[in-house]
Amino acid sequence: MKYSALKGIQDILPPDSHLWQRIESTARSLFQRYGFLEIRLPLIESTEVFTRSIGEATDIVEKEMYTFTDKGNRSVTLRPEGTAGAVRCYVEHSLYNLPSPQKFFYSGPMFRYERPQKGRFRQFYQIGAEAFGVAQPSLDAEVITLLRNLLGEIGLRELNVEINSIGCDACRPDYRNALLAFFRDRLPDFCPDCQRRYTTNPLRILDCKVPRCIELRQGAPAVTDHLCGECREHFDELLARLQALHVRYTLNPNLVRGLDYYTRTTFEVTSEHLGAQKAVAAGGRYDKLVKEFGGPPIPAIGFAMGMERIVTLLKEAATEETPAPKAFIATLGREAEREGFRLAEEMRAGGLWVEPNYGGASLKSQLRKADKIGAAFALIIGEDELKAGKAQWKNLKTGEQGDVSLEAVSIWLIACS
Ligand SMILES: [Zn+2]
Ligand SMILES: [Zn+2]
């Protein structure tokens, strides 16, 4: 019997996994400097956690959730995104009692039953951040700056930060009416999804990727022309702060997000190198969600970035070096082999990646292996070398060679850059 991974679900193997590790450790380091602490959330939650927060009339809830009934007859769902679980956790543990803002990050797999296609997976990975307890645009500016810096430190270039404000409960009804009036006559020409959205969530017509819909919505009223005084002020202050922090952005009035719980600020970081699915990260403010989960009325803002797309961009830029051992220790004879293992331990304790000979192979095949695994140096220890207390070394990149005493070889290798 031969098995293969489920459709749309991939294994992550070396050397890619090295890239993943580097992205994750860069994120951890940066989050720490901004005071974002890690929360580790369950992969599975009550289905309601997602339906109530994400909204019934979204693609995620309507078509894409991995939902099933468990043995206790409860409806459970593999998380399709991170915010709902983070807010459930925040309210359940009363984390709002901590000093504001409370800032958290998470990382791990998410699940959506999407039609598998290039760059889309049914199990995909995100790193996300959520910050609670501050309504002022200072927090929006910090979160967006953090995201920009994070993607920069990871090594992504030529990114656009796109920003919009989608208003609040006070001003959105007015905008919604303006949209409904604009779409009314054109509606029959839109795709079936948009026709449905007209009654369920007309803002999402602005989000449709169908080319005909994109054309038809040209000239639609912009949400930023319908903001109430407070939303306008919030947005203007955010833009002023981003300018002060030298975060370059573009305004995108069509950036409305597919999720119901967003209010005011929405943002996306896109790359021209990704084709149609060009968002690397996306986020926004969700001032109503904590209360909807039974907590106090606490404002919040967050983002999530997609690991697979970041990895694709980094591989395309091809600036990555595949990690390789510093040395392969080739040995001949049982005693030299033992000495090789002792040296490997010594060098590993000194922080080096070293591969020893596990026994049996000829010198020629050992050196071939050293080449194949990309070792920078080969060290050779046979009976003669052992007697003389020396190892021969060869720089496999330059061909240079020489010898060095067994006593000093570890320190010598550590010093070789
Ligand atoms: Zn408003
Ligand atoms: Zn459409």
* 102 three-state secondary structure: strand
HSE on the CB side for 260, CA within 13 Å?
Answer: 18
Tens digit of each residue's pLDDT (9 = 90 or more) over 25-84: 999 999 999 999 999 999 999 999 999 887 776 778 878 999 999 999 999 999 999 999
Angle between helix 307-317 and 16-33 (nearest 10): 110
What is the reported pLDDT for 128?
Answer: 98
DSSP 41-53: --SEEEHHHHHHH
| Closest ligand to the CA of 287 | 1
Number of neighbours of residue 390 by Cβ within 10 angstroms:
19
| Closest ligand to the CA of 263 | 1
Q: Is the pLDDT of residue 229 over 80?
A: yes
pLDDT band of 276, cuts 50, 70, 90: low
Domain range summary for the chain, segments of one domain joined by +: 16-171+227-317, 327-415
Task: Check residue 162 and report its DSSP letter.
Answer: E
Tens digit of each residue's pLDDT (9 = 90 or more) over 121-137: 999 999 999 999 999 99
Contacts (Cβ under 8 Å, ≥6 apart) of 388: none
Copy the structure tokens of residue 206.
């602005």
Q: Which of 198-202, 298-302, 349-353 has the lowest mean pLDDT?
A: 198-202
How far does residue 401's CA lie from ligand 1's centre (Å)?
72
Give the span between the Cα atoms of 120 and 106, in whole angstroms.
Answer: 21
**354, containing H or E segment:** strand 354-356
pLDDT band of 120, cuts 50, 70, 90: confident
Number of neighbours of residue 72 by Cβ within 10 angstroms:
6
What is the reported pLDDT for 82?
Answer: 95
Q: Is the pLDDT of residue 93 over 80?
A: yes
Residues in the 5 Å CB sphere of ion ligand 2: 191, 194, 208, 210, 213
Q: Which of 242, 218, 134, 221 is nearest to 171 (CA)?
A: 221
| Closest ligand to the CA of 202 | 2
Q: Is the pLDDT of residue 335 over 80?
A: yes
How far does residue 217's CA lie from ligand 2's centre (Å)?
9
Torsion of Cα atoms, 332 then 347 then 23 then 87, to 10°: 120
Mean pLDDT of the chain, nearest integer? 92
How far does residue 90's CA lie from ligand 1's centre (Å)?
26
How far does residue 229's CA lie from ligand 1's centre (Å)?
7
What is the reported pLDDT for 260?
Answer: 61
What is the reported pLDDT for 53?
Answer: 81
How far does residue 246's CA lie from ligand 2's centre (Å)?
36
Please give the annotated binding residues for L-histidine, written as ranges.
Answer: 81-83, 112, 126, 130, 257, 261-262
How far does residue 174's CA lie from ligand 1's centre (Å)?
10
Give the span between the Cα atoms of 59 and 125, in whole angstroms.
Answer: 19
Beta carbons of 247 and 152 less than 8 angstroms apart: no
Copy the structure tokens of residue 77.
């769902």
Q: Is the pLDDT of residue 294 over 90?
A: yes
Beta carbons of 293 and 45 less than 8 angstroms apart: no
CATH code of 16-171+227-317, in short, is 3.30.930.10
How far does residue 170's CA lie from ligand 1's centre (Å)?
5
Beta carbons of 57 and 200 less than 8 angstroms apart: yes
- Name the architecture of domain 327-415: 3-Layer(aba) Sandwich (3.40)
253 to each of 136, 139, 218, 226, how far by Cα in Å?
21, 21, 12, 11
Give the span between the Cα atoms of 261 and 245, in whole angstroms.
Answer: 28
pLDDT band of 259, cuts 50, 70, 90: low
Please give the average per-residue pLDDT across 96-116, as a whole number: 94
Q: How many residues does the chain have?
A: 417
Tokens 């009325």 correspond to what residue? 297
Contacts (Cβ under 8 Å, ≥6 apart) of 210: 191, 193, 194
| Closest ligand to the CA of 224 | 1
Please give the annotated binding residues, written as ranges.
Answer: 81-83, 112, 126, 130, 257, 261-262
Q: Which of 77, 74, 86 is nearest to 39 (CA)?
A: 86
User: What pTM, to 2 d.p., does this model score?
Assistant: 0.89
